[in-house]
Chains A and B, each alone.
Chain A
Amino acid sequence: MEVKNVSFSYNQKEDQLKSINLAVEPGKITTIIGPNGCGKSTLLEVMSSHNAPQKGQIILDGKLIQQYKPKELAKKLSVVHQKNEIPFDINVENLVSYGRMPYKRFFHHHNSEEDEEVIDWALSITNLQSKRKEKVEQLSGGERQRVWIAMALAQKTPILFLDEPTTYLDVYYQFEILELIKKLNREYNITIVMVLHDMNQAIRYSDWIIVMKNGEIVTEGSPKEVITEGMIESIYGVRAIVNHNDQSGFYVVPMGVARRNDNAT
């Protein structure tokens, strides 16, 4: 997947994305980080065809993303959003089965054998088999997030986008979700593009990190190359120590505000 010179604006006045160029490497975990309002989520929305860019191209498998029919695109790319609305009485199994919609024709709504198999697969990877008849609304935050991931998995796409998948979760569920994402990548070879806030998590779980600020990509590279004390100070306005030890590997300790970050919104 390639993003070429993409600019996007919600209001035609100010560009939320300014000439973005990037390539998503297949089979890798790419993480986008940056301060609030830097355009991370907007970039994901434009890349998943929710919003059409005013300028530039997004190419998926040699074809412009706008040229895909919605169902075709839904077989190539699935997205887990940060916030989701849940019908009050839907159960896990039914919600996950929505992931099969791209494979169904208009009048064929019942699940085929293949659909059932895929749903089972998605539920067992996300460890939800025992919860399949439970109401989604009554699950914990972490379980709910896994349900949305399972729904995306049921789409059987080679690419999975996740917008801040660990926000709103406690630390246990955060790592549970990240381990799941890593497993999806390593064992099932799903290309992952996600937005994260926590730099240590980004270091641990990414092959490639893209740093954004004010709608632009500031730098990108492997975690080691990108996460430096200088970068953290200039992007976030936070003094930090970047260190390494044998047990934890590479890590960041934020120390405090370096200066007022006037650009943060």
Chain B
Amino acid sequence: MKKTWLTFAVVTTMLVVVTFFSIVNGSLEIGVAELIRGLLFGGNEDVEVIKDMRFPRIIVSLFAGANLAVSGLLLQAVMRNPLAEAGIIGISSGANFVALTMISFFPTLFFWMPLFAFLGGILACFLVYSFSWKSGLSPLRLILVGVAVNAVFTALYESFNYRGYTTTSSAKATASTLSQQTWDDVQTIVIYGSIGLILSLLVYSWCNMLALQDKTARNLGLHVTRARVIISAIAVYLASVTTATVGVIAFVGLLIPHIGRLLVGSDYKILTPFSILSGALLILTADTIGRVFLAPTELPASIIMSLIGGPFLIILIRRSDRIYGG
């Protein structure tokens, strides 16, 4: 328990530090005192630029990270699979494809983009479930089906893009960079994201019971199918809302829950808030590294994520015996 509190304290502190670091650093540098004065009294042009350009980007990064981390965590709970993650099993690419296709055909419906993304995510999730379900979920079959669904949606999206129906919005999503975020994006991801995150915090006891075994969970009075559908829906929702705002970012949903299990254990009551905090921290850090240290050029957070994610996944697999019993 002591270790858990310490971990939370460290993550929260780092989150605050990185957020401040991210605000004051970049192509435009500013002192903390100057920043606070500018924010309070106005009249500082640099601070205005930071407010318009950097703040949205930071807030979107934080929520994108939290959403994707929790989405992965919940998918792993319902699919009983340590590899389940929105980016890997096709939910993000499904959301991306459907949202951008709809927007290309009906640009006036731009406001509904998160909804279309959600429908796309649900479609992908449904496909993965129905093709991999055979009187139970086999972890291997699920991942293989998920990878296939992901490949198809990615290909669909790319071929679509290739034929030149590109809009400005889809260009943004392909690069899946966190730059060019506006306060409108902030509004979308904060409102939709918060709803999803709050819901995710409410279902922890279901997630805990699903970790036992379907039969055992049912014996304990859990409505297993209903719980699974609701938790999946929350996970897909979080991933879709995020994809609609920032495009596809892989690996957060995989890395964070696994780090969480190593650091704070398998209880979802603790694991979910941990994932929210550290997911936010991870994406913000990745984006800040890409933005600050490589200035004047920028590297998208998704690329930095993959650079960190690849090696980490390998380490994880080497260590996974302890947690997943081989």
Interface residue ranges, A against B (CB under 8 Å): 10, 45, 48-50, 69-75, 77-79, 81, 83-90, 94, 98-99, 101-102, 104, 106-107, 109, 152, 155
Contact = CB atoms under 8 A, between A and B. Distances in A.
A158 B84 CA distance: 39
Given A88-B266, A155-B220, A10 B135 contact: yes
Given A85-B212, A88-B322, A101-B205, A70 B222 contact: yes
A51 to B, nearest CB: 10
B211 A109 contact: no
Given A88-B266, A90-B266, A70 B216 contact: no
Nearest to A78: B219
B265 interface: yes
A74 B215 CA distance: 12
Contact of B221 (A84, A88, A101): A101
Q: Which of A49, A77, A98, A102 has the most CB of B within 10 A?
A: A98
A36 to B, nearest CB: 19
B213 interface: yes
Interface residues of B, number: 25
Given A98-B209, A101-B209, A88 B219 contact: no
B205 A79 contact: no
A45 B213 CA distance: 14
B215 A88 contact: no
A36 B266 CA distance: 36
Contacts of A69: 221
A152 B219 CA distance: 9
B266 A98 contact: no
Given A71-B221, A101-B222, A102-B221, A84 B135 contact: no
Nearest to B214: A50
Contacts of A86: 212
B223 interface: yes
Given A86-B212, A101-B220, A101-B222, 7 more contacts: A50-B215, A70-B222, A71-B221, A78-B219, A84-B216, A88-B266, A99-B220
B30 to A, nearest CB: 45
Contacts of B266: 87-90
Q: Which of B205, B212, B218 has the most CB of A within 10 A?
A: B212
B117 to A, nearest CB: 29
A77 B208 CA distance: 21
Contacts of B265: 89
Contact of A87 (B202, B211, B219, B322): B211
Contact of A109 (B205, B216, B220, B324): B205
A131 to B, nearest CB: 18
Contacts of A50: 215, 218
B323 interface: yes
